[in-house]
Amino acid sequence: MSTPEILYDFGTGRSDPSTFPTAALQAAAVKVIEEEAQALTEYPGGLGHPGLRRAMAQREGEREGVFINPDHIMLTNGSMQAVTLTAEALQENHGDTVLVEEFSYPGTLNAYRSLQLAMVGIKLDEGGMRIDHMEQTLAQLEQQGRRPKFIYAISTYQNPTGFNMPEQRRRDMISLAAQYGIPIIEDNCYADVHYEGKIEPAVFKLDDRPEHIYLGSLSKILAPGFRLGYVYARPPMLDKILARRHDAGSNYLAAAIAAEFYKNGISAHAGVTNPVLHKKRDLTLDGLSTELEDICTWSKPSGGLFVWLRMPDDVDRPKLYTLAQASGVNYLPGVSFHYANRNMPYLRLAFGHLTEAQIQQGIPILARCIRKARTSNEPRAFTTLFD
Ligand SMILES: Cc1ncc(COP(=O)(O)O)c(C=O)c1O
């Protein structure tokens, strides 16, 4: 049997391809290959391209209104390398406990599984991780003699739910972490994919203790093919992470091109990409309202690339996946995001990479597949995303 063609790929979190700045990057590449030829003949090592570290320090500093020292930024091969390196730096033994969101980014979950970390999931609501559940979990773990090595948090435009943790909850999470002496790894690749509303502060803005770690990326504001990410960490934590690194540094050419492109800040390009993504977010939400209001509920993210959809319990999930694929629709099922691989009635729609027409055509097809995969016609029995 031939594999059906995917015409509506809501699968992966990528930005809009039509806004990829080909000409500007070409010009930047020509310039930096000539100007930085000497550095390109060497191994970059250590922290990586100084210009890109300055540009990313400026990006983070301007958004948060604090000074970021570029010498505390280490460039990585995408933020995925940063996810793995930081976990390795904080891990002492196989089986070490870490706290994660109940639904989280599969790349991180898989990396932690390979490192044999014991993940404990914190329940989510519309404001991200529930602090009451975190508090209860930490107390229970403490009784068992298990103190987590770190808390991994995607607090801003969370993957997969799109939720944005309010400032007070961030402060409460920081207080709890301080009470138990646990570092927070904040993974913040979506903060600049912002559509409306308040920009919530990063952990490093609210708490300047040097044990916290921050991960950033260029994948969502520029393109994942650059494989550029970074860790912002202060000594001695930075040295601990650097000591885990044995790859002679990250891609210097990619970093040099991005540094040239962003030498006057990231806002000019974000001003081009965000309105395009905002429109696609709106079309996705409009399509869902028209097609699925009576049986489903979903998140309404004010930034990022994802909508998290809750379906009725009686949807036969394997059947839905087969029907959707056969109809040319791809999405990621809820099970991919659950820290313990629990199969739950959710799916994630990533809207950034499709055209507007694909979104408008794809949502009704997906909706028909959901209805077809049900065993009843009962209306929705829930009003919120989580019980
Ligand atoms: C929360 C989160 N962290 C890290 C990554 C990995 O990004 P990168 O392309 O920078 O490795 C992603 C990609 O989707 C993500 O959603």
What CATH number labels 35-264?
3.40.640.10
Give me the residue spans of the domains in the chain.
Answer: 8-19+268-372, 35-264
14 CA distance to ligand 1 middle (Å): 10
The Cα 54–Cα 71 span in angstroms is 8
- Local confidence band at 299 (pLDDT 50, 70, 90 cut-offs): very high
Atom of ligand 1 minimally distant from the CA of 83: 4
Per-residue pLDDT at 2: 67
CATH architecture of 8-19+268-372: Alpha-Beta Complex (3.90)
Which residue has the least CA distance to atom 3 on ligand 1? 187
User: Ligand 1 pocket: which of 190, 217, 222, 250 to mutate (most atoms <8 Å of CB)?
Assistant: 217
Computed from CA positions of residues 232, 52, 222, 58, in that sequence, does the dihedral angle turn out positive or negative? positive
Per-residue pLDDT at 14: 95
Average pLDDT over residues 128-134: 98
Two tokens, residue 384: 């919120």
Atom of ligand 1 minimally distant from the CA of 80: 11
8 A C-beta contact, residue 200 and residue 240: no
Per-residue pLDDT at 1: 57
347 CA distance to ligand 1 middle (Å): 18
How would you classify residue 253: left for phi > 0, otherwise alpha for psi between -120 and 50, otherwise beta? alpha
378 CA distance to ligand 1 middle (Å): 37
Angle of CA points 15, 227, 354, to nearest 5°: 20
Which residue has the least CA distance to atom 2 on ligand 1? 105
173 CA distance to ligand 1 middle (Å): 22
80 CA distance to ligand 1 middle (Å): 6
15 CA distance to ligand 1 middle (Å): 12
How many alpha carbons lie under 13 Å from residue 188 in its C-beta half-sphere? 29
If you average pLDDT over every residue of the chain, what do you get?
97
Q: Which residues line ligand 1 (CB under 6 A)?
A: 13, 78-80, 83, 105, 107, 154, 159, 187, 189, 217, 219, 224, 229
- The whole-model pTM stands at 0.97
Per-residue pLDDT at 233: 98
Average pLDDT over residues 119-148: 98
Which residue has the least CA distance to atom 15 on ligand 1? 105
pLDDT digits (tens, 9 = 90+) for 22-52: 999 999 999 999 999 999 999 998 899 999 9
Average pLDDT over residues 367-386: 96
Per-residue pLDDT at 88: 98
pLDDT digits (tens, 9 = 90+) for 167-178: 999 999 999 999
pLDDT digits (tens, 9 = 90+) for 246-265: 999 999 999 999 999 999 99
8 A C-beta contact, residue 265 and residue 60: no
79 CA distance to ligand 1 middle (Å): 6
Q: Which residue matches tokens 């940063």?
A: 82
The Cα 194–Cα 196 span in angstroms is 6
* Torsion angle, alpha carbons of 177, 179, 182, 187, to 10: 10
